[in-house]
């Protein structure tokens, strides 16, 4: 996983996963996070735990279906929710005072990390 270095407002953080640092073998080597593609379930669970340990929030992994469904992410959203994208409200205020919604594809955070992890200053 690496943190994306991009110009962003205070409180916005982006991370990307890579294939490095996991335990999956063969065509899924090494940090496969998808549990619905034929990889060993124990390896995927370990990969997800390793990935989650790098953050101060719980990632939620969607089962992407290549359709049009987007779901609202909440703290109770389970892994494997069928959708192609999700959104959630976050504590970041826009320039006009409106709450911004965040959107990801594949996985996302069910809770905000501590402020110190998000701040850029």
Query: What does R_g of the chain's alpha carbons equal in angstroms?
Result: 15
Report how far residue 26's alpha carbon sits from residue 93's, in angstroms, rounded to the nearest whole number: 44
pLDDT at residue 26, rounded to an integer: 96
2-33 tens-digit pLDDT:
777 778 777 666 778 889 999 999 999 999 99
Task: Give the position of tokens 């969607």.
Answer: 62
Mean pLDDT confidence for 39-62: 90
Compare 10 and 98 and report the one with higher pLDDT. Answer: 10
Report how far residue 41's alpha carbon sits from residue 61's, in angstroms, rounded to the nearest whole number: 14
Alpha helices in 22-82 (DSSP H): 41-52
Residue 77 has pLDDT above 80, yes or no: yes
Phi and psi based region of residue 32 (left: phi greater than 0; alpha: psi -120 to 50; beta: remaining):
beta
How far is CA 70 from each of CA 25, 29, 88, rounded to the nearest angstrom?
A: 31, 29, 10
Please state whether beta strands 99-104 and 85-93 pair in parallel, antiparallel, or not at all (unpaired): antiparallel
| Segments making up each domain of the chain, as ranges | 2-118
Q: Which CATH architecture has domain 2-118?
A: 4-Layer Sandwich (3.60)
């Amino acid at each position: 996983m690496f943190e994306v270095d991009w110009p962003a407002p205070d409180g916005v953080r982006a991370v990307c996963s890579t294939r490095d640092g996991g335990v999956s073998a063969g065509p899924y080597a090494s940090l496969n996070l998808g549990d619905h593609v034929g990889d060993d379930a124990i390896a995927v669970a370990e990969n997800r735990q390793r990935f989650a340990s790098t953050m101060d929030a719980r990632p939620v992994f969607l089962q992407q279906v290549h359709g049009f469904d987007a779901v609202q992410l909440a703290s109770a959203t389970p892994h494997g929710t069928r959708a192609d994208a999700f959104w959630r409200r976050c504590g970041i205020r826009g320039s006009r005072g409106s709450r911004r919604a965040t959107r990801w594809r594949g996985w996302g955070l069910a809770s905000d990390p501590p402020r110190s992890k998000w701040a850029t200053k």
